[in-house]
Amino acid sequence: MQVIERVRTPTGSDPDLEANKAVVRRMCQEVWTEGKLDVLEEIVAPDAVDHRAPPDAQGIDGAKAHIADMRAGISDLRLDIIEVVAEGDLVACELLWSGYHDGTLFGIPPTYRWARCSQSCTYRIADGKIAEIWQVVDTLGLLEDFGVAPPQDMHPLKIPLFTIANVLKMGARQARKPPSKPPAPHGWPYEGAAGRG
């Protein structure tokens, strides 16, 4: 996992804030990137609330199921911290998750494309564990990377043609599964990578 912190933590910073950030780093690295779902028991409160997730994705069991689904739909899934800042009992992060879409995800069949999604999260830490999460996810950008949503700069009159062509492409992708996973684009997954997805 690469952590790119633009705001440098001053020397001699508050150890409690550093401990809170360490919990979030473990969530990103050990749980999301490495798939160690048992770590959730150590870093997430049993009654934790994710304010964006549906009812069946709440608490530790819900988080395990959600993360397992994500990892099944996106191989090589990784969650990188771009920025992390802590204040009081809150840790705010700018995140980037990425991987290769070779399984069904959110009801979307495999597109066999590299995809990435930016996300902003705020975690509330209580007694050394994540108690609440608020998040904003660039879902449209992810769907663009999958090739199932039109690019944001597409002329509105071209969108119906894009939609029809996309339905045909999706069927063709399922019939002609790539024989092997293509290499990730140069510089993947950061913005310097050539092209999206």
> 149 lies in a domain?
yes
* pLDDT confidence of residue 88: 95
The tally of domains found in the chain comes to: 1
> 58 lies in a domain?
yes
* pLDDT confidence of residue 193: 46
> 7 lies in a domain?
no
> 128 lies in a domain?
yes
Q: Confidence class of residue 151 from pLDDT cuts 50, 70 and 90?
A: confident
> 190 lies in a domain?
no
Residue 79 sits in which domain range?
A: 15-175
Percent of the chain whose predicted confidence (pLDDT) is above 90: 52
Mean of pLDDT values over 140-150 = 87
Q: Confidence class of residue 176 from pLDDT cuts 50, 70 and 90?
A: confident
Pairing mode, strands 74-87 and 129-137: unpaired
* pLDDT confidence of residue 51: 93
Angle at 139 between CA 5 and CA 76, to 5 degrees: 65
Q: Confidence class of residue 94 from pLDDT cuts 50, 70 and 90?
A: very high
> What pLDDT digit, counting tens, does each position of 26-49 carry?
999 999 999 999 999 999 999 999
* pLDDT confidence of residue 157: 87
CATH assignment at residue 157: 3.10.450.50
- pTM equals 0.81
| CA–CA dist 167, 197 (Å, integer) | 18
> 185 lies in a domain?
no
> 164 lies in a domain?
yes
| CA–CA dist 66, 63 (Å, integer) | 5
| CA–CA dist 125, 30 (Å, integer) | 17
Q: Confidence class of residue 1 from pLDDT cuts 50, 70 and 90?
A: low
Helix (H) or strand (E) holding 41: helix 40-43
Alpha carbons within 13 A on the beta-carbon side of 167: 5
In this structure, the dihedral spanned by the alpha carbons of residues 17, 21, 24 and 26, taken in order and rounded to 10 degrees, is -120
> 197 lies in a domain?
no
Helix (H) or strand (E) holding 75: strand 74-87
Q: Is the pLDDT of residue 169 over 90?
A: no
* pLDDT confidence of residue 6: 53
| CA–CA dist 97, 32 (Å, integer) | 9
